[in-house]
Amino acid sequence: MILVTGGAGFIGANFILDWLAHSDEPVVNIDKLTYSGNIAKLSAVREDARHIFMQADIGDQERMHAVFHTYRPRAVVHFAAESHVDRSIADPAAFIATNVCGTFSLLEAARRYMASLTGEEKNSFRFLHVSTDEVYGSLDPGDPPFNEASPYAPNSPYAASKAASDHLVRAWHHTYGLPMLATHCTNNYGPYQFPEKLIPLTIANALADKPLPLYGDGHNVRDWLYVGDHCAALRSVLAGGVPGATYHIGGNSEKTNLDVVNLLCDLLDRLTPRADGHSYRRQIAFVADRPGHDRRYAVDAGRIAHELGWKPAESFDTGIRKTVEWCLAHPQWLAPAEAVSAEGTGA
């Protein structure tokens, strides 16, 4: 079986659903169930014997040691993290606790567990660490995308905490021989995303006739990756990645935040028009930029394409339409947006 941390979060839950749709291999799912974790995302596998859920904190090293000892996973897929930049600016301590100290705790539990393995069990064990493009800092408009050799230059407490966790994982590989794999993905979107992020927040606010907040001039650029494509990429890395290697996972879909919001408005205009006949674009509201807002992120995903044969199946146009249609069919997942501030765009 495999051990997944943060499996009740946005990407983690999608990964578990995707995994169980493609494999009969069981999953042990560890999640602390903080504000953005919701086990209801996995209601489709509630009665599935292949999914074992445990509410636990990865920072509890002895609890993690017991999990490894009891279930003896052949791989770890480590999603668990605090991930919202705005929250990291307001409360960086939580990000250090989970992203740095929690990763350290998990690494130590994995190291103790691996020391008990022998033969093929030891040779085949993998620790897949899921990270972000934000650790590299910001690109200028004409710069080439980040590659796996790009230097780290994190600009937010969130990015710095993820960079620290990356360095810990690398050190445990080189010092202790932990067979790690690392991935850096671009901005994900899709079903079950917590509505403090740009895309679900925009949809929720549009339908509620509220302002659609955009930081600064709205021209910050992100590369957008449909979460289903991310899950497929992670399965490929886990199956064929070289221990010690890092792989970039991107959507080949660079868009400004304003482009994204305009496209969402246009889709909603067609799928669920406003009662007054006006476009949802009239609700766009520019707000003061957040501190240290990176201008552009993008990654070169050539390595994973060349070595593992992965490329995104969804374009941004197809992926965003799927996302909007899913949100309209599942409005209950947009409800928490009511508690999110107008500046919580998260992109």
Average predicted confidence (pLDDT) for the chain: 95
Q: What pLDDT is attached to residue 69?
A: 97
Residues 146-185: tens digit of each pLDDT: 999 999 999 999 999 999 999 999 999 999 999 999 999 9
3-class secondary-structure state, position 223 = strand
pLDDT band at 343 (very low <50, low <70, confident <90, very high): very low
pLDDT band at 137 (very low <50, low <70, confident <90, very high): very high
Q: What pLDDT is attached to residue 95?
A: 95
CA–CA distance, 61 with 106 (Å, rounded to integer): 7
pLDDT band at 257 (very low <50, low <70, confident <90, very high): very high
3-class secondary-structure state, position 32 = coil
Tell me which DSSP letter residue 101 carries.
Answer: I
Residues 1-60: tens digit of each pLDDT: 999 999 999 999 999 999 999 999 999 999 999 888 899 999 999 999 999 999 999 999
Inter-axis angle of helices 198-207 and 316-329, nearest 10: 50
Instruction: Please say whether the beta carbons of 194 and 336 come within 8 A.
Output: yes
Beta strands 254-256 and 221-226, pairing class: antiparallel
- Please confirm, yes or no, whether 158 is among the known catalytic residues: yes
Q: 247: part of which helix (H) or strand (E)?
A: strand 246-249
- Mean pLDDT, range 258-283, rounded to an integer: 98
CA–CA distance, 5 with 29 (Å, rounded to integer): 6
Amino acid at 253: S
Give me the catalytic one of 113, 158, 226, 297: 158
Residues 287-318: tens digit of each pLDDT: 999 888 999 999 999 999 999 999 999 999 99
Q: What pLDDT is attached to residue 335?
A: 83
Residue 185, strand partner residues: 132, 249
Residues 195-209: tens digit of each pLDDT: 989 999 999 999 999
Instruction: Please say whether the beta carbons of 79 and 2 come within 8 A.
Output: no
Distance from CA of residue 203 to its chain's centroid? 19
Instruction: Please say whether the beta carbons of 71 and 28 come within 8 A.
Output: yes
pLDDT for residue 338 is more than 70: no
- Please confirm, yes or no, whether 217 is among the known catalytic residues: no
pLDDT band at 86 (very low <50, low <70, confident <90, very high): confident
Beta strands 221-226 and 180-185, pairing class: unpaired
CA–CA distance, 124 with 76 (Å, rounded to integer): 12
Q: Which residues lie below 8 Å from residue 345, measured CB to CB, with a gap of 6+?
A: 86, 197, 198, 201, 213, 214, 215, 257
pLDDT for residue 337 is more than 60: no
- Please confirm, yes or no, whether 133 is among the known catalytic residues: yes
> How far apart, in Å, do the first and last CA atoms of the chain sit?
34
User: To the nearest whole percent, how much of the chain has pLDDT over 90?
Assistant: 93
Q: What pLDDT is attached to residue 290?
A: 87
The CATH class that applies to domain 2-193+224-254+295-314 reads: alpha beta
CA–CA distance, 24 with 39 (Å, rounded to integer): 20
Q: CA neighbours within 13 Å on the CB side: how many for 25?
A: 16
Give me the catalytic one of 31, 57, 82, 134: 134
3-class secondary-structure state, position 264 = helix
pLDDT band at 342 (very low <50, low <70, confident <90, very high): very low
The model's pTM = 0.95
3-class secondary-structure state, position 129 = strand
Give me the catalytic one of 31, 133, 196, 294: 133
Q: What pLDDT is attached to residue 84?
A: 83
- Mean pLDDT, range 134-147, rounded to an integer: 96
pLDDT for residue 192 is more than 70: yes
Q: What pLDDT is attached to residue 319?
A: 98
Tell me which DSSP letter residue 28 carries.
Answer: E
pLDDT for residue 141 is more than 80: yes
